[in-house]
Amino acid sequence: MTAPRILIVEDEGFVALDLKDRLESFGYEVTDIVPSGEMAIEKIEALRPDLVLMDIMLSGEMDGIMTADEIRKRFNIPVVYLTAYSEDTLLQKAKITEPYGYIIKPYNDRELRIAVEIALYKHTMDAEKEKLIAELQKALATIKRLQGILPICASCKKIREDNGHWTQVESYIREHSEAEFSHGLCPECAKKLYPDYYKEKTK
């Protein structure tokens, strides 16, 4: 089984290297460490990691929240925030970007591993759900249902369409549903149309 690939976005070198060592000890692959949001976008475009661990306070013009928002809009990759800040205003801004986790520094190995595992699992389940929804929508789009009152001729049994044209009933049903027809003769019609054949078959 391929190890999950994680990109670290952290501008404090010592913290980033410590995080890399922890993740690799868990069996994950760290694709790279970058200090800014701008570099994170470039690396994600090139490497397509399975998860991004994102510090909120970064060097450069883009902070972690701006970067995560860009990732959400452009890539289908989960982000877990790493931060020493837990103010309500910051949390409110962060949750708008729909992160898959939020880890408050300092954290221990257990907290880090649980957050990563849950984020990876949730993203896998979300992808499966989206796939199933797409398949269901595709299936529903192919289903045609007959409903309501159909104007039908009492004599020839043709059906009047919305445009006023009269159509054979089997043609109408075939066009407006998934039904197909095979043809035969009921006993009454066989007796009426082919009396000699009917007598021979019923002896």
Residues 20 and 107 in one domain: yes
Q: Compute the distance between CA of residue 111 and CA of residue 105 in angstroms, rounded to an integer.
A: 10
Q: How many CA atoms lie within 13 A of 167 on its CB side?
A: 15
Residues 6+ apart with CB under 8 A from 5: 28, 29, 30, 31, 47, 49, 50, 51
- The answer to whether residue 121 sits within a structural domain is yes
Q: Which of 86, 106, 139 is the last residue of a domain?
A: 139
Residues shown for the chain: 203
Residues of the chain with pLDDT under 50: none
Sorted by sequence, the CB contacts under 8 Å of residue 59 that are 6+ apart come out as: 11, 35, 36
DSSP state of 164: S
105 vs 130: CA distance, rounded Å: 33
Pairing mode, strands 79-83 and 5-9:
unpaired
Q: Are residues 103 and 15 in the same domain?
A: yes
Residue 76 maps to a domain = yes
Sequence-separated (6 or more) residues with CB below 8 Å from residue 197: 190
| 175 and 125 share one domain | no
26, two tokens: 């868990």
Q: In the prediction, which pLDDT does 165 show?
A: 87
The strand ranges marked E within the chain are: 5-9, 29-34, 51-55, 79-83, 101-104, 159-160, 166-167
Domain co-membership, 37 together with 135: yes
Q: Which residues neighbour 201 within 8 Å (Cβ) at sequence distance 6 or greater?
A: 190
Pair (111, 173) in one structural domain: no
Q: Do residues 74 and 166 share a domain?
A: no
- Residue 26 is assigned to a structural domain of this protein: yes
Quick check: is 153 in a domain?
Answer: no
pLDDT at 118: 96
Residue 35 lies in a domain: yes
pTM of the predicted model as reported, rounded to 2 decimal places: 0.68
Instruction: Tell me whether residue 127 is in a domain.
Output: yes
Residue with tokens 């409110």: 92
Instruction: Tell me how many domains the chain contains.
Output: 2
Non-local CB neighbours of 94 within 8 Å, separated by 6+ positions: 56, 65, 68, 81, 102
Provide the domain limits for residue 48.
5-139
